[in-house]
């Protein structure tokens, strides 16, 4: 049986508000006490060992540290999602970028998890400078690429609805991402890139938030979309990497201020039901692991794949 992976970006309420330009983020509101146990329960019901990308600024607070400890105790990989969750990492100087990665590492290890070996940039931001920092710090993989043409459209929607668009920068990527590989590959410096899988051929997203947007139109449409994506992955030999977020299990009342976010009109119960179906469908056709294990399993087959794409 082929493998697939599941990862979760543990973005907190304040991080969504910050990216959206809402000054309420400075109060650092959190929904981790509600989201973390619910997500771990769903993973446990399906016997999944996933990877959770943690924001360092959460790992240093009590509820975030408790979340990291619970995630690690359940056997899930804890990876680095930056310290401040700013999607404009491409604006950082080399020194500031290294400090951002290192601060998150320190926060994660202080909370009780092993030193991370995987990274995902906020807003799918990845640059040659970031890849160099990760390689120098001994990371095994990056998982920041979203190979789709939908990114710029999502950025336009974000800019139109955000109170402030201080620097949306590379948020959600550019149209060039549609040409990026939809399979794991190596950058020129040897670091493995594990993209967030999009539907083969059509290059439209299949992650949790996108499925919830479709679910608001029609639950049957959301399920058909995901079934089609899995069928294409199997037919074309793509080993999918599915991305989830805490908002995939939270209702609107548990995430105040996120009315603009896809799927927030769907109840928490319906979200958990959809997520359970998605994970069940994935497990029927693939052996499901975390992203770190996904990369390790593909490691031998990725030798010599560096020429697929340059870091730029």
pLDDT for the residue numbered 19: 87
pLDDT at 274: 98
Residue ranges per structural domain of the chain: 3-198+239-246+280-308
Q: How far apart are CA 38 and CA 272, in angstroms?
A: 9
What residues contact 308, with CB distance under 8 A and at least 6 apart? Answer: 181, 185, 186
| 1-34 residue pLDDT tens | 899 999 999 999 999 999 888 999 999 999 999 9
Query: For the whole model, what pTM was predicted?
Result: 0.91
Q: Which residue from 127, 130, 123 is spatially nearest to 100, judged by alpha carbons?
A: 130
Distance of CA 266 to the CA centre of its chain: 21
Residue 17 pairs in a beta bridge with none
Instruction: Write out pLDDT tens, residues 89-123.
Output: 988 999 999 999 999 999 999 999 999 999 999 98
3-state secondary structure the chain: CCEEEEEEECCCHHHHHHHHCCHHHHHCCCCHHHHHHHHHHHHHHCCCCCEEEECHHHHCCHHHHHHHHHHHHCCCEEEECCCCCCCCHHHCCHHHHHHHHHHHHHHHHHCCCCCCCEECCHHHCCCHHHHHHHHHCCCCEECCCCCCCCHHHHHHHHHHHCCCCCCCCCCCCCHHHHHCCCCCEECCCCCEECCCCECCCCCCECCHHHHHHHHHHCHHHHHHHHHHHHHHHHHHCCCCEEEECHHHCCCHHHCCCCCCCCCCCCCHHHHHHHHHHHHHHHHHHCEEECHHHHHHHHCHHHCCHHHHCCCC
CATH, domain 3-198+239-246+280-308, list 3.40.50.1950, 3.20.20.370, 3.30.70.20, 3.30.70.2860: 3.20.20.370
Contact by Cβ (8 Å): 4, 287: yes
Q: What pLDDT is recorded for position 179?
A: 78
- Cα separation, 61 vs 3, in Å, equals 35
pLDDT recorded at residue 260:
87
Q: Which position has the token pair 């539907």?
A: 199
- The ranges of the chain with pLDDT < 50 are 155-158, 165-168, 304-312
Closest CA to 55 of 157, 147, 123, 129: 123
Cβ atoms within 10 Å, residue 63: 15
């Amino acid at each position: 049986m082929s493998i697939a992976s599941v990862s979760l970006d543990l973005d907190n309420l304040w991080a969504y508000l910050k990216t959206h330009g809402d000054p309420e983020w400075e109060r650092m509101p959190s929904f981790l006490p509600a989201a973390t146990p619910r997500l771990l329960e769903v993973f446990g019901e399906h016997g999944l060992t996933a990877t959770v990308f943690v924001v360092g600024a959460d790992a240093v607070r009590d509820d975030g540290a408790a979340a990291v400890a619970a995630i690690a105790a359940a056997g899930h990989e804890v990876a680095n999602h930056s310290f401040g969750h700013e999607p404009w990492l491409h604006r950082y100087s080399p020194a500031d970028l290294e400090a951002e990665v290192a601060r998150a590492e320190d926060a994660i290890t202080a909370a009780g998890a092993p030193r991370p070996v995987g990274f995902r940039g906020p807003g799918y931001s990845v640059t040659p400078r970031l890849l160099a920092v990760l390689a120098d710090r001994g990371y095994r993989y990056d998982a920041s690429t979203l190979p789709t043409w939908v990114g710029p459209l999502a950025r336009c929607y974000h800019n139109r609805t955000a109170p402030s668009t201080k620097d949306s920068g590379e948020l959600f990527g550019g149209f060039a991402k549609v040409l990026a590989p939809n399979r794991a590959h190596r950058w020129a410096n040897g670091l493995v890139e594990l993209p967030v899988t999009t539907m083969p051929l059509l290059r439209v997203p299949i992650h949790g938030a996108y499925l919830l947007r479709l679910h608001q139109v029609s639950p049957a449409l959301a399920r058909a979309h995901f079934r089609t994506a899995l069928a294409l992955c199997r037919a074309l030999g793509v080993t999918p990497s599915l991305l989830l977020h805490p908002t995939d299990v939270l209702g609107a009342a548990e995430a105040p201020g996120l009315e603009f976010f896809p799927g927030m009109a769907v109840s928490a119960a319906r979200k958990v039901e959809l997520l359970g179906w998605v994970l069940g469908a994935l497990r029927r056709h693939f052996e499901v692991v975390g992203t770190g294990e996904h990369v390790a399993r593909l490691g031998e087959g990725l030798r010599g794949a560096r020429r697929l794409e340059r870091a730029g």
